[in-house]
Amino acid sequence: MSDDRVIRRLIELLQRRFSSEDVQSQDKLLALIEQVILADTDDFLELTRIVGLSPLESYGGQNLIGVSLDRKDLARADFSKAVLIRASMTEAELSSSNFSNADLTHAFLARAKLTSATLTGANLTSVDLSGADLTNAILNYATLKMADLSDAYCNCASIRYSDLTGASLHRVRLEEANLSSSIFRRANLSHANLKGANLFGANFAGATLYRVDFHDASLDGAMVEGAYFSNNPGLTRELRRELVRRGAIFDD
């Protein structure tokens, strides 16, 4: 017998699919709801398939609060504008999926594969993306306040005009990433790899940047007032002096 919360989510999906007042549509809706209630599984993805809905098309704009999709294959799925607050997608396959303008507040995506995924405008406040693979992902104009991206792979990702205030980016890999005009105020980027990253206009005020690798990174126009640096490969003496002039603090 299916879990009550899962039933509610599936019924909402079905009601949107069969919104017509036509008698045949309503009869089919009731029959599908009965299938969900009697199904011998609580697996949300399996139930979605049982009632004939495609995960690649059916989740956009839907209420999926708290849904569990851990370790599911949802590559290329459409979650645009979906409400995924506290949803769990740990270790899920989400490559090339669309999360544009979705609400993923407090969601769990640790070690998820999000290569080439689109998260433009998404609310990722306090999301757990630790160890996730975001290679080539697009996170422009996203909100990542207090997000956990420690040990995440974000090489060649585009994270422009995004807010990562207070985020944890310990050991994150951001090689060749575009971080221009994003906010990293009070974020922890210790031991991060920023080789070749575009940091033009990024705001690192009050951020922790111990042992960050800046080889070939562009810090032109970056704001570093009150930012803490130490043992940073790739920073020349001239650049260090320039950063100090802008308000950076070097502890080495």
Q: How confident is the model at residue 31 (pLDDT cuts 50, 70, 90)?
A: confident
Tell me, yes or no, whether 86 lies in a domain. Answer: no
Owning domain of residue 8: 1-53
pLDDT of 46 reads 83
pLDDT of 36 reads 76
Quote the CA–CA distance of 205 and 222 in Å, as a whole number: 9
Tell me, yes or no, whether 184 lies in a domain. Answer: no
Tell me, yes or no, whether 33 lies in a domain. Answer: yes
Statement: residue 152 has pLDDT above 60: yes
Quote the CA–CA distance of 144 and 168 in Å, as a whole number: 10
Q: How confident is the model at residue 49 (pLDDT cuts 50, 70, 90)?
A: confident
Statement: residue 1 has pLDDT above 50: no
C-alpha torsion angle, residues 110, 6, 102, 222 (rounded to 10): -20
**pLDDT tens for each residue of 178-220:** 999 999 999 999 999 999 999 999 999 999 999 999 999 989 9
Tell me, yes or no, whether 43 lies in a domain. Answer: yes
Residue among 165, 45, 131, 144 nearest 99 (CA)? 144
Tell me, yes or no, whether 199 lies in a domain. Answer: no
**DSSP-derived secondary structure for 161-176:** T-B-TT-B-TT-B-TT
C-alpha torsion angle, residues 249, 206, 118, 116 (rounded to 10): 30
Least confident of 6-20, 99-113, 133-147, 170-184: 6-20
pLDDT of 26 reads 73
Q: pTM for the complete prediction?
A: 0.87
Token look-up 């009697």 returns 38
Tell me, yes or no, whether 75 lies in a domain. Answer: no
Q: What is the mean pLDDT of residues 96-108?
A: 98
pLDDT of 15 reads 75
3-state class of 39 per DSSP? coil
> Going by C-beta distance under 8 Å and a sequence separation of 6 or more, which residues neighbour residue 160?
140, 141, 178, 179, 180, 181, 182
Domain count, the chain: 1
- 34-46 burial by CB neighbour count: b if 16+ within 10 A, else e? ebbeebeeebbbe
Token look-up 């570093």 returns 224
Token pair, residue 111, equals: 């070690």
The 228-230 sheet, strands edge to edge: 208-210, 228-230, 249-250
Statement: residue 24 has pLDDT above 90: no
Whether residue 132 contacts residue 114, with contact meaning beta carbons closer than 8 Å, is answered with yes
Q: What is the mean pLDDT of residues 11-37?
A: 72
- CA 188 → CA 37, 141, 229, 238, distances in Å? 46, 20, 11, 24
Strand partners, 72: none
- CA 121 → CA 31, 108, 247, distances in Å? 37, 18, 31
